[in-house]
Amino acid sequence: MLTVTAIFEIHRVLSNTIWLFYLAIAIWGLLRAIRGMSVDGSYFGAIAVIQIVLILQSILGAVLYVGGGRPDRQLVHYLYAAFGVVFIPGLFAYLKGDDSNRAQWIYALAALFMFGVILRITGTA
């Protein structure tokens, strides 16, 4: 069984993974958009992977909360985390599966925005 300390360490390491991954898919998406490419299955797959990791991160955060681990600025941390979980899926729903070059620009800029949001979440912990 994992201890609270181990769960906290996994939560901390995953936060670094998430912002690095968002930065990578933002750069990749911008390069694709500049080249006039549309969104393909590989890019959607990368977005799905980061969403799964973000949900796992949220579950670990909930376990830490129940175990007594609270960030310094609780409410802001939880609000940013909730936003992070719903933003990209909400964008996908808004775009209704659009895979045009325009959508590639939107997803790339959204990933860049999420990179900043994740850094802010880390700063509020």
Percent of the chain with pLDDT over 70: 95
Taking a C-beta distance cutoff of 8 angstroms, is the pair 15, 118 a contact? yes
User: Quick one: which of 88, 54, 47, 72 has its CA closest to 125?
Assistant: 72
Residue 37: which H helix or E strand, with range?
A: none
For the chain, domain boundaries: 4-124
Q: In angstroms, rounded to a whole number, what is the distance separating the alpha carbons of residues 46 and 89?
A: 13
> pTM of the full predicted structure?
0.89
Tokens of 125: 């912990």
Most confident region among 20-24, 79-83, 119-123 by mean pLDDT: 20-24
Sorting pLDDT into bands at 50, 70 and 90, what band is 77?
confident
Residues in the chain: 125
Pick from 3, 112, 11, 9: nearest CA to 61: 11
Supply the pLDDT for residue 61. 87
Whether the per-residue pLDDT at 90 is higher than 80: the answer is yes
pLDDT per residue over 32-75, tens digit each?
A: 999 999 999 999 999 999 999 999 999 998 888 887 766 666 77
